[in-house]
């Protein structure tokens, strides 16, 4: 049974919790992008970030890039390294393969969250806005380390060319 793609969010005492479920593909990334923008602009006050990927069955490079952006946000704000929960072997292989363990404290066990979370709605992005979202995510991946740079720089270059950047 495939879990539908969903994003949930809660902020409890300035600790922000993001739960990503199902197949995480760029076609459904606008809600996550908007949430990231609200965190960066300080519209949402956040002193600590926790991400739950326990119900994620697939995660594409755009979502991985958004995770990298969240880690960079925490670093820039001098916040603790974000915590990422994931019990999914395939997802974990990808996280470690792209060196996200350098940017996150990865905990391979279920979360014990005891509060309700609100669903994050998708946003209506134009084709240009969606392209820029994908570009930003891949730029964050490239910035994470040299291994990712060699893997994703061609994607960044192609996106920039297509978007006229």
48-59, strands of its sheet edge to edge: 105-107, 83-85, 48-59, 15-24, 6-12, 118-119
Per the model's pLDDT, the better-predicted residue between 132 and 4 turns out to be 132
Confidence of residue 4 (pLDDT cuts 50, 70, 90): low
pTM to 2 decimal places: 0.92
Flag whether 102 is in a domain.
Answer: yes
The CATH number assigned to the domain holding 37 equals: 3.30.750.24
Flag whether 140 is in a domain.
Answer: no
Structure tokens at 62: 């755009």
- Which residue in the block uniquely carries the two structure tokens 């792209």? 98
Flag whether 151 is in a domain.
Answer: no
* Mean pLDDT value across residues 50-64: 95
Flag whether 145 is in a domain.
Answer: no
* Mean pLDDT value across residues 97-109: 95
Flag whether 47 is in a domain.
Answer: yes
Confidence of residue 140 (pLDDT cuts 50, 70, 90): very high
Identify the domain containing residue 80 by its residue range.
6-124
Please state at what angle helix 61-76 crosses helix 127-144, rounded to 10 degrees: 60
Confidence of residue 73 (pLDDT cuts 50, 70, 90): very high
Question: Mean pLDDT score of the chain, rounded to an integer?
Answer: 93
Flag whether 150 is in a domain.
Answer: no
Flag whether 144 is in a domain.
Answer: no
pLDDT for residue 3: 57
For the chain, the straight-line distance linking the first and the last C-alpha, in angstroms and rounded, comes to 41
Flag whether 92 is in a domain.
Answer: yes
- Structural domain count of the chain: 1
């Amino acid at each position: 049974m495939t879990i539908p793609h969903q994003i949930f969010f809660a902020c409890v005492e300035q600790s922000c919790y993001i739960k990503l479920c199902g197949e995480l593909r760029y076609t459904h990334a606008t809600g996550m992008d908007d949430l990231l923008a609200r965190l960066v602009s300080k519209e949402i006050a956040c002193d600590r970030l926790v991400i739950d990927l326990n119900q994620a069955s697939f995660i594409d490079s755009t979502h991985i890039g958004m995770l990298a952006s969240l880690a960079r946000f925490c670093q820039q704000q001098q916040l603790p390294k974000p915590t990422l929960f994931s019990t999914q072997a395939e997802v974990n292989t990808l996280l470690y393969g792209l060196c996200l363990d350098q940017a996150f404290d990865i905990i391979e066990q279920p979360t014990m969250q005891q509060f309700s979370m609100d669903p994050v709605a998708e946003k209506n992005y134009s084709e240009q806005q969606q392209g820029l979202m994908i570009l930003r995510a891949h730029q964050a991946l490239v910035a994470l380390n040299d291994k990712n740079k060699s893997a994703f720089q061609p994607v960044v270059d192609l996106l920039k060319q297509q978007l006229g950047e």
